[in-house]
Each structure stands twice: as C-alpha cells, then as structure tokens.
Structure 1
Amino acid sequence: MVWGNANIQAVIDKVSICRYSLIMSRKHLLLIVVIAGIAFFGVLQFRKPAAGDVRPEVLNVSRSQATIAWLSETVYKGRVFYRPAGSNVDPLEAMDSFGPSDRHEVIITGLNPSARYTYWIGKSKSRFQFQTQPASAGPFSFLMVAGSLGDQIVSLVSSEVPEFIISFSDVTQQTDGFSEVRPYIPIYGGDGVDSPFLRAIGRESSAGLWKLDWGGLRLIFADGSEKITMMFDAPAAHTLGVVSSTV
C-alpha cells in the first residue's frame, strides 16, 4: 500500500486480525486495525475543558505506567489525580519529579494492564481518561491516518476507542487536528511521539529508525536503514509491522 511518500508494509506472523476497515480518497487515508482477538468497544466521551483549564497530553503509556504532560502560564509543581474509570474511590496522586515549573511531565506508576483510568490536573474540573497497554496476548485497536480528517477524528476516536494513533498528517503548533484527542490517547508519527508539548520545549523526535511496542505488536518505522533487521528480535511480539518512508 502506497500513500504519498509512505510505503506501509505489514509483516504478519501468527496473528488474528479480527477487524479491518479502510477508507481512502484523494484527501485522506484512514486505517482501523484490531489485533490479537476480538475487542469490545465502548464509547469515549469527549468534554471540552473549562475556561482557563490546561489541556494535557498523554505522551506515552505502558502496561503499568502513563506519562501526562502539559504547559502552564504560571509556575507550580504539577499534580495529577487519577482512579479507575467508573469508580468513586478516593483518587491517587502523582507529581512532577522536579520542582515548580511551567513545563510538567507527571509519570503515573503502579497501574494495571488493559485498564482505563480517569484523571485530572490539580484542582481542575475537567476530566480525561487514558488506557494502559494490554498484555502481549490481549486485544487492542489503533488508527493509522494520513491527510486531513477534520472533525472526523474526534467522532472516530469516540466510537472506536483506539489505544493510539499513527499519523502521517502534517501537524504544527497552529494546525493540530488531534488537539481534542491528545488528552486521551498518545499520537505517534514517522519520527516518534507526535507532541505539541515536546515541540514547544524543543524535544522533538528525530527522524530515523525507531520502534513502537504495544501489547503483542512491534511496529518498526524505517527510513531505508539497513539496521532494520536488528529490530526483528522481539520475543514478546507475535506481530511485526514495518512502516517505511521510502517507496
């Protein structure tokens, strides 16, 4: 499958892909994939933050951790409160590792795999959610997009509830089609984590060879490098995929 300058090649071994939808036009490409079993989807509700509230990003998640990041107009020590989604138990708290700042990266640890959590920043009334990675045999879904999808991305994420998005769309600080969904799921691009937060603080991902491990999937993003075979050694992965920037 070729789209623009992206040559997307799937190398699949011992995997059951149970749901596969593809939408293509001259303006955009959308790929919805569910891997390793049947996934049961809920509905993710998006709520606009209250006036003056920060809009955080889910930078990354693993089976037991999540990283929440945001910028603030004032300097303070960032705090994230969280608890299992749908519960009313007293929330737990995670804080910035360093002192007061206007750049906040809070790492939440001790989470359960394939679990959804509700979180909020400090005294904010806005509530968001994220989901941890599944075990290697657990089902999950993700979206792969290119081009401009406009408001469609919000409705798709709300209904399909993917665990992450791989984007080949042009994103800048001024034009970000994913701004509404970043507080809920991580966004990845051909060069690594796609993040307005990282761009703002000068920590953009560098182009080249990198890999994304998620559940039982390993996706390798290559620029034609001969070192790509070094990343095929993934004992925990039952699915290997290669995304190449060369045609």
Structure 2
Amino acid sequence: MMQKIREATRLLATNLVLFSSIILTVWLPGSILLVYLRLYVFPEATGGDELRMFTQELRVSNAIEFAFSPLYVGAILYAASRLKQGLQTTYRESMSHGARRSFTLLITRLGAGFIVFFGLIVFIIPGIILALRFALIDSVVVLDNVEGTSARKLSTMITKGKKWNILRTILLTFIGVFLAAFLMGFVLYLPLSFIGQDENFIIAVLSECVVNILLIIPTLVLFLFYWEAKSQQIAPQHEDNQ
C-alpha cells in the first residue's frame, strides 16, 4: 500500500515538469477562471452566501473536470507507462495520445458511471464494489485501446482480489494529498497575514494549481495497480513460452 504511494510520489517528483505541464494545460486557465469567479462574481451573484458560492464553484469545477479530464488523464497515463518502460516521452507526444483517446475515455466513463450510480441507488455496498471493479478503467481504455463493455470487463478482471487494497490505498493517498495541500496553502498564504490581506488573486491561483498537481498522485497510484496487474498477467505467459 505505502509502496505504491511512495512510488507514485517519486514518479511525480522526478518528472514534475512533464506531469505539471500536462495538468496545467487545463487547470491553469481553469484555476484562473475559478478564482476570478470566487473573488469577483459569485459574492455579488449570491449576496455573499457561502454555501451558494461553494455550490456554484463546485459546478464550474466539475464541468471543467468532466469535459477535459479525459484529455489530461490520458496524457498522464501514457507518459507514466512510457516512463515505467524506461522510455522517454515528451509533453507533445503525451498530449497527442491523450487527445486521441479522450472521447473514448469520456464515453466509457459515462457508461461505467451510470452503472455505479444505479448500484449506489439500489444498495450502497454494491455501488462501492462496482466502483472498485471499474477503478482501473482509465488505464485500460488509454493503454489497452479497449472501450465500453470490454473495458469494464478487463478492469473487473485485473482488480480481482485487489479491490479492498485499492480502496485502502486510495483513501490513504487522498488523506496525504489533503494534508500536503493544506500545508502548501498555509505556506503560500502566510505572507498575506503580515500585510493584513485575506485574499490575493495570484496566491489563490497558485494554490489551486498546487492542489491540482498533487492530485496527479491518486491517478498515478491507480496506474501502478494497473501496471502491476498487467505485469502479473504477462509473467506466466512468458514462462509458458519458454
């Protein structure tokens, strides 16, 4: 569990420029938009209602995530797979591959999402189990070039016996990311307290960007589960051929 978190963190740290460039292609303009709306639009539109402001910001953030995450997730997964093979890759090559698989990934995610949502409505536990079965569907779509039902079946197969380990690892990863984001936010905002300022546009954008870079780690953790499962499948086949 901790090994995958450490490896994902190391993979991000040693390739920080590449992974940051990929995710900030979407989330730098996205962060600028969100901060602008948070500081200058939503307070006036909601009369300062904090809950309504949060809800509206969440809607915009989710819309950006829904529309563009297949692009940058696909690019991150492609880059990670090349790096795990000891091969070099570039921003352009990674983004090109992500773009080619983005629509397929979006449609496959929607199909899996509807199934999980139905499972959660009927009974919560089956919905959680379905979500864990489909946890590696992004890697399957991007790296195995399958989609739809085939992607769901393959993700279910390679998560067999690993679902609860995946759940524990991802929960721990998000806790670590939250704590790291809180610490980085504190460091970034600390200078403002000395000048008696509560908010600053540039600091807020930087804070948003840092959080989105840290959120690459859960994506890499799931990729490492996929990579391990595929390696375990290949090893017996290689032994049989010998």
Alignment TM-score, normalising by the size of structure 1: 0.22
Between structures 1 and 2, the one with greater strand share = 1
Alignment TM-score, normalising by the size of structure 2: 0.22
Between structures 1 and 2, the one with greater helix share = 2
